[in-house]
Amino acid sequence: MKLTGFITLAAIATLSASARAQTGQADCERLRSLHSGSSRTLSVEYSAAGEFRAPAIGSFVPPPIMLPAHCSVRVFTPTSPDSGVTSEIWLPDAAGWNGKLLGTGNGGYSSALSYRQMAEALQRGFAVAGSDTGHQGDGLAFGTGHPEKIRDWAYRSTHVLADDARTVIAAFYGKGPAHAYFAGCSTGGQQALSEAQRYPQDFDGIVAGDPGNDRILLNADFMESWLVTHPANGPSFPASKLAMLSKAVLAACDKQDGLADGIIGDPRTCSFDPHALLCKAGADIASCLTDSEVSMAQALYDGPVRNPDGKRMFPGWPRGSEAGWGSYLISPAKPVRLEFWSDWVFAEGGFDMRTFNAPVAVAKARAKFPYVEAVDPDLRPFQQRGGKLLLYHGWADAVSPPDDTIGYYERVKQLLGAETEVSVRLFMVPGMGHCAGGPGATTFDAIGALDQWVTGTVIPDSIPASHQSDGKPLFERPLCAYPKIAQWDGKSDPAKASSFRCMEGPTR
C-alpha cells in the first residue's frame, strides 16, 4: 500500500532544525533594539553552526573551532566621560543553552578577548561573555593620563561585563541565568579575585588561575628581577644557561616526591643551591655559572624586592621555574612593565630605572592607583551569599610567583576560619608554567569542577588532570586541594591517577 503525505523522521528533524534556526535568528535580530540605561548595542550577528577562527595573534593563526549556532552581541557601556567598556556576549540557541553564564578574563594589559575559552564554553552550552577591559591594544599607553581607563582595566570592566551579559541574556531567552560563573588566568585571575572582593553579588562561582592580583608588587618584582640579572657594570645573566640550570634543579629535586618523573612535586621541598654549579677558577663556560651568575640566581630564588631592612616584600621565583625565566626576567631588553612605573606612577617625569627604589615606588603606586591590586582577603560577603572560589596556580610559574597565591589563600583562611573550605579551595599544579604548559598534568576542567561545586553535586577535594600530546593523555594525576599533594603509592602504574593519593604536604 502506498502512503501519501508521509514525512520521514529525517525530514521532521530537518524541519525542526530549520525552525529552531529561524527562531534563534529572529530572537537575535530583536536585540538590535535593546536599550538599557546608558549602554548601547554596537552590533548583533547570528551565526549558523560552523567553523570559527579567532583573530591571529601576531604571526600565529589559531586553528579553527567548530561552534554551534549562536547570536553574538557587542554592547558599549560608558563608565565615565573619558572611559567605557565594550562587552561581547555569545548566546547559543535556546534549545542548546545550559541555563548558565560564563564570564571570561583577559591577559596582561590586553584588550583581546579569550576567544578559545569563549568558544569552548559555547560548545558546552554556556552563554559566554568577554570584554575589551575598556581600551584597545596590549600596551600600557592607554592609561597614561587616563586614570578612569586604568580603573576599567583594573576592575570595573568585569563588573560592567556581568551586568551587560545578564541584560542581554534576559532579553534573548526571556529569563536570566540560573547560575553565573567567571573564569580567568593571569590578569584574568586578578579580575576573578577582584570580582569576589569588590562585587560579590556578580557571580555564584569564580575560577582564579595564576592570578597577578598583587599587581604593584608583581611589577616591582619584574623591575628588580631584571635589574638583578642585568647589572649596569657587568654582564647580564645569559639566557643560554637557563636550560642547564633548569636541568640541574630537576636532577637535584625530582625524586623528592618519591617518583622520578621529570616533575618537581612541591618546590618548597627543593633546597637546590646554585653554588653547586659554580665554575672553577674563574672560568665562564656553558656548563657552569660564574660567581655573579650564582648570586643572580640566588637573588631570584630569594625574592629581590626588599624593604630597607632587607626583609622580603614579595615571594621569590620557585625552583623548577628556571626554564621560563627568559620571557619576563632575562631576555627582554628592558624590564617588563617598565611603563607602569615610568608612564603611570612617575608620569610627572624624573624616573630612572637604575635608581629604582622598590619601597618608595610601591608606596607611591599604592597611593596613586590602589585599585590596580586585588589583595583584600575579606571574602566574607562572597561566602555569605554562597559564592564558591576555586584558585589554582602552576608550581613552575615564572610570571606570577605561586607562593604569593598560597599567601593570599592563607590570609583568607585566617578570616574565614573553618568555613574556608566550604567556599574557597586552592589547587597547586606541579610542573605547570604560567596558566598552561610544562611537564606536569596541566590539562584539567576547573570550570566543570566549579559547576559541580556550585550546584551541590561534588565538593572538589581533588580535580582529575592529565598531560596531553596531540589531544591524547600521556599520564594522569589528581590535583589536590591545598595543602594536600598527590603522593604516588610506590608500586602502581604512575601513569594512572588511581596510583596517587592526596596526602598532607608541607605548609608555609
**Per the structure block, which three cell numbers stand in for 179?**
547560575
Return d(Cα 127, Cα 158) in angstroms, integer. Answer: 16
In the numeric block, the cell 618608595 is attached to 360
* pLDDT attached to residue 451: 97
Biggest CA-to-CA distance, the chain: 101
Splitting the chain (508 residues) into consecutive groups of 10 residues, what average pLDDT does each group show?
37 46 86 88 96 83 91 97 97 97 97 95 98 96 96 98 97 97 98 98 98 97 98 96 98 94 96 97 92 98 94 96 97 97 95 96 97 98 97 98 98 95 97 97 98 92 96 95 96 97 78
Torsion of CA 99, 388, 112, 116, to 10 degrees: -60
In the numeric block, the cell 627582554 is attached to 332
* pLDDT attached to residue 382: 98
Contact 120, 113 (CB under 8 A): no
* pLDDT attached to residue 19: 55
Q: What is the CATH number of domain 11-216+371-458?
A: 3.40.50.1820
Neighbour count for residue 299 (Cβ, 10 Å): 19
User: Where are the strands (E) in 48-186, listed by range?
Assistant: 50-52, 65-67, 70-80, 83-92, 100-104, 127-131, 179-185
Helix residue ranges, H only, 398-494: 402-416, 420-423, 446-454
Q: Residue ranges of the domains in the chain?
A: 11-216+371-458, 225-368
DSSP class per residue in 310-356 = S-BSS--PPTT-GGGHIIIIISSSS-TTHHIIIIIITTTS---GGG-
Which residue in 314, 317, 326, 360 sits closest to 341, CA to CA?
A: 360
Helices then strands, counting H and E runs in the chain, come out as 15, 17
The CA-atom distances, in angstroms, between 177 and each of 101, 171, 310 are 6, 11, 51
Helix residue ranges, H only, 395-484: 402-416, 420-423, 446-454
The CA-atom distances, in angstroms, between 329 and each of 147, 220, 229, 434, 474 are 28, 12, 8, 14, 31
Return d(Cα 219, Cα 459) in angstroms, integer. Answer: 35
Structure letter (DSSP) for residue 91: E
In the numeric block, the cell 586604568 is attached to 150
- Pairing of β 424-429 and β 443-444: unpaired
The CA-atom distances, in angstroms, between 10 and each of 20, 24, 212 are 15, 21, 52
CA dihedral sign of residues 404, 406, 407, 409: positive
* pLDDT attached to residue 410: 97
In the numeric block, the cell 525530514 is attached to 11
